[in-house]
Structure 1
C-alpha cells in the first residue's frame, strides 16, 4: 500500500479512536512511523502480577499522547480494538473512553440500525461494577463488552448472555495475532484465546 493511502487510513482510524498502538496500525496495513508515538511499559491485564510489556501508542498529534496517562491510552486502544472487531464504521462511532468512569460507556456506535454500547475492561472492575454497567447500558442499546483476559471474557459471557462479550488483545502485533488465532503455543489458555477470537461477530 502506498504511503498516502496508508496515511489516509491511519488518519481515519485515529480520528475515530484517538489512540492506537503499533500492532493495531500494522494490522490495518499502516506504517506506525507515519504518526507520533509514545513508548510505555504496561500490563494489558491489570489483575495479573506478570505480563509487563513495551507498547508504542500512536495518535494524530503528540499532545494527545502526553496529555493522558498510560491507563487512559490503553483504555482508548482497547476500545478501538472493539470497533475493529465489530467492523464498525468510523463515521458512526463516538469514543468516550477518556471519561470512562461511572456508568457511561466507553463508546457508542451504530451497526446498521442497531445502537451498541461499548465497554473495554482491563480486568480491574469488580462484579458489582460490571453488574451496574451492564444494567445501565442495556437500557439504551446492545451491550458489547471487550476484556483483556480470555478467561474473564468467558465468565462474563456466561453471567450476561444478553451481552456480546469477547477477548480483546489490542496490544498484539500481526504475528502475535496470527499465533493467537492458531492456538498459540498450545494448552488450555491458548485454546481459550483462539476460540474467543474465532467467535462469530
Structure 2
C-alpha cells in the first residue's frame, strides 16, 4: 500500500480545497476538516509554518504529489499564506467574496490589475479588499503605489479599498494620505500569536533553561575524520576547524558567525557547528518553509532560521534565505575575519550594491547570491555596476549546478571563476558520533 492510497478520495478532495481555495489552515481548521489529521501529518502531506498570526498548515510537496500526482508548478508559499490571512479576516467580519458572475465585481477586479485585491461585499457596499501577513504586512511604499493607482477610480466610482495587516502601526501614516477611499485595518483574526512590545511577531527565543542538545563537551569529530571528509570536497576548511573544537568553543563560534552572517539556518547549525537547537539559549529564531531554487517547487526546506537581531524577522522568508546563501558562500571561501566581510541587510538593493563585500587583502570583492531570480540583463548590469565601483572581482553563488552552467554561458567569461554551488539545506556530511 502506497502512502497516497492510505488517504481517502474525500480526504484528497479536502486537500485540493486547501491548496486551491483556502491557502492554509489554522490548527483548529485542520482538525475540523481532516478527521484523520494525525495520519496526514504522519504521511507528511501537510507542512506546518509559524506565522505572524500563529501556526498554519500548508500542502507539502508530498501532499501535492498525493493530490495532483506531481510536485511541480506549485503556487507561491507567501501567496498561499496571504490568501489564508485574507480568508480569515473576511470570516472575522462576516464579509463575503463577490460572485465572479457579478459584472460590477468583475469591473472592480479589472481595476486591481495584478495586485491581490478582491471584490468583497462589506457593510459599506462592494469594496476591493486585500490582505498581507507575510513580510510583516503592507509596507508604506506598497500602500502608496496602490493608493496612487486607484485614487482616481475609487473617487470616481465611489468604492473603498480595504487592506488588512497584522501590525497595528505599520503603514498607517501612509494610508492616512488616502483616507478618502482607503482603510488599513490591523487584525490578527486567529487570536493566536506572540505579542512583543504590543506588536505581533513570529520571533521565538530558544529558552534560556534549554537542555543542551549535544552531550559531549569535546570536539564533534576527530581531526583525521575531518581531514578525510575535506579531501573528498564535502567540507569547507573553516567548518573542519570549528568541528574540531570543544562544544563551548563551537557555540562561541556560532554566535560570532551569526553576527557576521545575520541569519543562519538550522541545517547550517548542524552541518558547520555540530550543534542542535537547544545549544543556543537566548538566540532569536523564526520558523520557515523555503524553496531554495527558483522554478523548482519540488524542493521545500522546513527549518529554523536563527537571527542576529529580532528586527530581521520583518524581512520575508526569501530575503532571509538570501542571507543564508551569502553566509554559505562565506564558509566556502574560508572567510572568518569579521573585518573582511560586510553583509548588506538593506530592504532594497540598488543594482550597484552587492549582497556582501569581501576585503581580500588589498582587493575588494563583490559577493552576489542568486537563487535563480536574476535574468541575464540584470546579471550583466550588476557585473558592470560592480566593476564601475572598482570591485576587483565578482564571486557569484547559486543553489544548483544547472544555474551555475547557465550563468557561465550568459556572462560569456565575464565571471572570472565558476559560481559557487551552495547547498546550505544539507544538514550534515558527518555520521553521528
Q: TM-score, normalised by structure 2?
A: 0.38
**1:53 aligned onto 2:304:** no
Equivalence map 1:1-201=2 (5 Å):
1=219, 2-33=246-277, 34=280, 35-61=283-309, 63-88=310-335, 89-99=337-347, 101-103=349-351, 104-139=353-388, 140-141=390-391, 142-160=393-411, 161-163=413-415, 164=417, 165-175=419-429
Could you tell me whether the CA contact under 8 Å between 1:79 and 1:97 is conserved in 2? Answer: no
Structure-1 separation of matches of 2:358 and 2:372: 23
- Once the two structures are TM-superposed, the CA of residue 52 in structure 1 deviates from its matched residue by 1.7
Structure-2 separation of matches of 1:114 and 1:66: 33
Could you tell me whether the CA contact under 8 Å between 2:251 and 2:273 is conserved in 1? Answer: no
Tell me whether 139-148 or 91-100 shows the greater mean CA deviation: 91-100
Q: TM-score, normalised by structure 1?
A: 0.78
SS in 1 for 2:273: coil
SS in 2 for 1:174: coil
Could you tell me whether the CA contact under 8 Å between 1:96 and 1:107 is conserved in 2? Answer: yes
- Once the two structures are TM-superposed, the CA of residue 24 in structure 1 deviates from its matched residue by 1.7
| Structure 2, unaligned runs of 5 or more | 1-218, 220-245
Report which of the two has the higher share of helix: 1
| Structure 1, unaligned runs of 5 or more | 179-201
Structure-1 separation of matches of 2:349 and 2:308: 24
- Once the two structures are TM-superposed, the CA of residue 127 in structure 1 deviates from its matched residue by 1.1
SS in 2 for 1:28: helix
Structure number with the bigger relative contact order (C-alpha 8 A, sep ≥ 6) is: 1
Structure-2 separation of matches of 1:80 and 1:168: 10
Structure-1 separation of matches of 2:349 and 2:295: 18
Could you tell me whether the CA contact under 8 Å between 1:109 and 1:115 is conserved in 2? Answer: yes
> Structure 1 residues 49, 26: CA separation in 2 closer, same or farther (over 3 Å shift)?
closer
Cα RMSD (Å) of the superposition?
A: 2.0
Structure-2 separation of matches of 1:11 and 1:32: 13
SS in 1 for 2:359: strand
